[in-house]
Structure 1
Amino acid sequence: MLSIQSTERLTGGRISGDYWDLDELINSIYEVIGDENKYYDFQGARQRILGVCLQLRKATRGECNVEFVANGMHKGIERQKDILAPEKNVYFSVEILWPELIFTTLALNDFIDLYNEHIDNNPWNPYITTIRKFQSVVTECLREQLPEEHFNVFIHLMFTKSPKYFRYATQYVDVLNLEYLKLSFEERKENLGAFAIRLMVEDDEYIALKDEILATANLTKHEIHELPIRMKYPEHIEW
């Protein structure tokens, strides 16, 4: 079963599941966000979501964390059924920085809307259902970390503006990731809700960054999502 828990230092969310849980989520996201020729004005968001999918795929290959989780089997069942069976299943997990994970959760709403409009609006579509499950476990994990009033604001803003990330300067997610990494554990507890809201409200810092990127894009004739940000992540992250 797919699950998400906050990491020990509140640095990010740890996404965990067996191989098929993670593989189903990855394939559902691939289906809904479409190939690189679709939804061009959402390419920045699409690329960031694909970055999270890459981390999930690495997890399924055992390149991140491997855990053993009780599966409900015990000696009584073995004797009753006259079988020998493992009592634990192999689970894979990977950590994603909280601003990145929140952005991914929010941006998937845009792609769900696009998919419903252009591909399939069946409310029982299995790909959408899988993504909604992922979004629900992210938000439930956030509920455990945020004060009630902050969480209520987050949920309200999550559905009040659509689309959120049309031609979005996704370099701002890097800015928030790096700002968040510099905070202490106590500062993260106090400010996680504010970071979530900053991903949904185009504040002065975001507008200034986007204006700068657009000016560069006009000179270089690049698209906004093609311009890298000159900021380096630390080689080691304490989760």
Structure 2
Amino acid sequence: MLTLMNTPNHTGVKISGDYFDLDELNQAIYHVIGDEKKYYDYAGSRMRILGIAYEVRHAAQGDRNVESVFNGLHDHTKKQHGFIAPDKNIYFSTEILWPELLYAALALKEFSALHRQQAKSSEWDVHLPVIQRFQALILDCLHGQVPEEEYQAILKTFQEAPSLEDYAVQYVDFLNLKYIEMPKAQKEKTLPLIAMKIAAQDKDYAAFRNQVLAASNPEKRPIHEIRLQAEYPEDIVW
């Protein structure tokens, strides 16, 4: 079963499951976001989600964290049925930064809506419920970290969020880098604000986007191709 859990230092979320859980999520992501030419105005958002898919895929391959978890098989059940079997399953996991994952929840909401518009008989699509559950798990994990009143405000903002078309995805990098450097207590206090900022596209986001557009205009490059001049630390304290 796919599970999401806040990391000890509140830096991000651990996505955990067996091989089939993670592979199912990865396939659903690729299915819903389409190929690189399908939704050109969402190219930046697609790249960010592909970054998460990359981590999920490598986790499923055992390249990230590996742990054993109780599978519900008790000794009396083994005796009752007369067989020998392990009482633990192998689970794989990977960590994703909180701002990154919150943006993914919003972006997948929009990609799912675009997919429904174009797909025939989307109510029978096996991948859309997987994406919807992943989004719900992200928000449920957030629910456990913020006061109820703030969580309800975040839900409302996420529901009413403006389109992510041509979103300046470098803003997610900006928030990621600021968030990584915060002490744990500050992360806990700031997380609701970051969730709201990502969804609301407030004046700070608008000013940031204008700076990115100014950088892209001389070369007439698409907004998603402009790189933020900053590097992520090699080691992140999760």
The question of a shared fold, defined as TM-score above 0.5 by the shorter chain, is answered with yes
* Partner SS for 2:52: helix
2:164 corresponds to which residue? Answer: 165
Correspondence list, 1:51-66, <5 A: 51-66=51-66
Q: 1:63 to 1:169 in 2, by over 3 A?
A: same
Correspondence list, 1:94-173, <5 A: 94-120=94-120, 122-162=122-162, 164-173=163-172
Are 1:40 and 2:40 an aligned pair? yes
Task: String of CA shifts for 1:194-223, please: whole Å, max 9, x gaps.
Answer: 000010122232222211221222211211
2:195 corresponds to which residue? Answer: 196
Task: String of CA shifts for 1:82-101, please: whole Å, max 9, x gaps.
Answer: 21111100000111000001
* Partner SS for 1:5: strand
Tell me if the contact between 1:178 and 1:233 (Cα under 8 Å) persists in the aligned partners: yes
The size of the alignment, in residue pairs, is: 238
**CA–CA distance in structure 1, aligned partners of residues 112 and 208 of structure 2:** 27
Residue segments in structure 2 that go unaligned for 5+ positions in a row: none
**CA–CA distance in structure 1, aligned partners of residues 155 and 125 of structure 2:** 23
Task: String of CA shifts for 1:15-60, please: whole Å, max 9, x gaps.
Answer: 0000000000000010000000101000000000000000111111
**CA–CA distance in structure 1, aligned partners of residues 140 and 131 of structure 2:** 14
Task: String of CA shifts for 1:136-178, please: whole Å, max 9, x gaps.
Answer: 111111111011111001100111135x310000000000001
2:70 corresponds to which residue? Answer: 70
Correspondence list, 1:1-20, <5 A: 1-20=1-20
Aligned structure 1 segments of 4 or more residues deviating by more than 6 angstroms: none
**CA–CA distance in structure 2, aligned partners of residues 188 and 25 of structure 1:** 28
**TM-score (normalizing by structure 1):** 0.96
**TM-score (normalizing by structure 2):** 0.97
Look up the equivalent residue of 1:40 and give its one-letter code.
Answer: Y
**CA–CA distance in structure 2, aligned partners of residues 212 and 143 of structure 1:** 33
* Partner SS for 1:155: helix
Q: In terms of mean alpha carbon deviation, does 65-74 or 202-211 score higher?
A: 202-211
The percent identity for this pair of structures is: 42
Q: CA RMSD in A?
A: 1.1
Residue segments in structure 1 that go unaligned for 5+ positions in a row: none
Look up the equivalent residue of 1:212 and give its one-letter code.
Answer: Q
